[in-house]
Amino acid sequence: MGTRLQGKVAVITGGGGGIGAAAGRIFCEEGARVALVDQSEDAVASAVHEIRQILPGAEVHGHVADLGVEAEADRVIGDVVARLGGVDVLVNNVGIRRYEALADAPWETWDAIIRVNLLSFVSMTRAALPHLRRCGRGSIVNTSSTYAVYGRKGMGAYDATKAGVLAMTRTLAYEEGEHGVRANAVCPGYTRTPFHVRRMGAQAVDELVPPCVLKRWADPSEMAYPMLWLASDEASYVTGATFMIDGGLPA
């Protein structure tokens, strides 16, 4: 057990699997009390159970919420504060995908993706900000995507929301600096998450060589460790920044 987040309360959305669950475990390893939030009750319960198995002393709790609904953010943050006493770190990591070209994606696709991938970041941030300001050294870490910056075909709605996350992060940094709250974004590249394994199959994932300098998939923990640094006081002079964690993916 480390101490890099000792005494801090961290809320992590999309906490039921992949990057969110890895961040939950690593944050607990470094002394944080952690609330994992996910739409899937089974997924978040499994993540909490796994962390408690690995780290018997960890204080980690699961919260089930559909963050595409605005009111859910206030409910979740209220529950976290009632149980843990505050919020020091918010990791906005929830996301959904649709594989449709811009010419084909219906309004309903855009509406669903914007609600989860961008508006949930807004609602969770608004709900958490009074507590992040109160702690005096609050940190917000927003998960975007390398394709918020680089171009590609077939996922225009997803990529547009992830670009919006970067703009939101920069604005937050400017607005909240005077309150002692930092805001930064991470842009993951190819990451071997349960989502991709389910979608493609384990063999297909293993056979695909990502077009990046390191020529391999990242483990979710390799995304979570940069999040840990940004959440900690080690990054106390870092705000408004975008971190490309992509193994050297060319533009």
Q: Which residues participate in catalysis according to the annotation? A: 158
* Alpha carbon distance 137, 215 (integer Å): 37
Task: Specify the amino acid at residue 65.
Answer: A
3-state SS track over 134-200: HHCCCEEEEECCHHHCCCCCCEHHHHHHHHHHHHHHHHHHHHHHHHCCEEEEEEECCECCHHHHHHH
Residue 240 buriedness (CB in 10 A; 0-12 / 13-18 / 19+): middle
17 CB-near residues (< 8 Å, 6+ apart): 38, 43, 46, 47, 193, 194, 195
25 φ, ψ (degrees, to nearest 5):
-65, -45
